[in-house]
Amino acid sequence: MADVNHVVLIGRLTRDAELKYTASGMAICKFSLALNSRYKKGEEWVEESHFFDITLMGKSGEAINQYLIKGKQIAVEGELRQDRWEQDGQKRTRVYVFANNVQLLGGGGNAPAGGFVPRERSNGAPSKPSVNQTPEDSGDDGFADDIPF
């Protein structure tokens, strides 16, 4: 039987995503996800939080980075990876999720319900218009003219 390494998580971002580039120009988007669980212990309900570090590489990370804002609910699909290194003579390890797919879900943070607000650029201007604009507001009927069916 083959080994399986597949993770699907749905949770909220604990901080804004961080975008960096390698020397060769590859984008690396890093963020952290919190998942809350609840279970009954005896007669009381106990709430527990779990935190996961996520890494998304390439154009996907570059494209979605501006929307990964603290408090936003997202779904992540990927695999577990482990870093190993030595520090001060002690062996260290860190397990993280290497994402293959990230989807934006409901509102969260300071975003209005049902949509998201892009992070502002350094000059104070939004990087893209808000997705909360309705087709009636824009004069758009919601369908692209180039759809082949």
More confident residue, 79 or 116: 79
Amino acid at 29: C
State the pLDDT confidence band at 11, using cuts at 50, 70 and 90: very high
Place of tokens 């998304």: 56
Asked if 107 and 114 count as a contact pair (C-beta separation under 8 A), the reply is yes
* pLDDT attached to residue 106: 75
Is-contact 19 65, C-beta < 8 A? yes
- Which of 15, 25, 103, 84 is CA-nearest to residue 53? 15
The pLDDT, as a whole number, for residue 108 is 55
Residue 143 has pLDDT above 60, yes or no: no
What pLDDT does 107 receive? 60
Overall average pLDDT of the 10-18 stretch: 94
pTM of model > 0.85 = no
Q: Cα–Cα distance between 35 and 16 in angstroms, integer? A: 16
Query: What structural domains and CATH numbers belong to the chain?
Result: 7-119 (2.40.50.140)
* pLDDT score recorded for residue 116: 38
Tokens matching residue 75: 């779904």
Q: Is the pLDDT of residue 74 over 70?
A: yes
- Identify the pLDDT of residue 148: 52
Report the pLDDT value the prediction gives residue 91, as an integer from 0 to 100: 95
Asked which of 31-35, 51-55, 133-137 is least confident by mean pLDDT, the reply is 133-137
pLDDT beyond 50 at 128: no
Whole-angstrom CA distances from 99 to 40, 50, 69, 102, 148 are: 31, 17, 17, 7, 32
Q: Quick one: pLDDT at residue 51? A: 95
Output the average pLDDT for the chain: 79
Q: Residue 126 has what pLDDT?
A: 43
Q: Is 71 exposed, middle or buried (0-12, 13-18, 19+ CB in 10 A)?
A: middle
Distance CA 79, CA 21 (A): 21
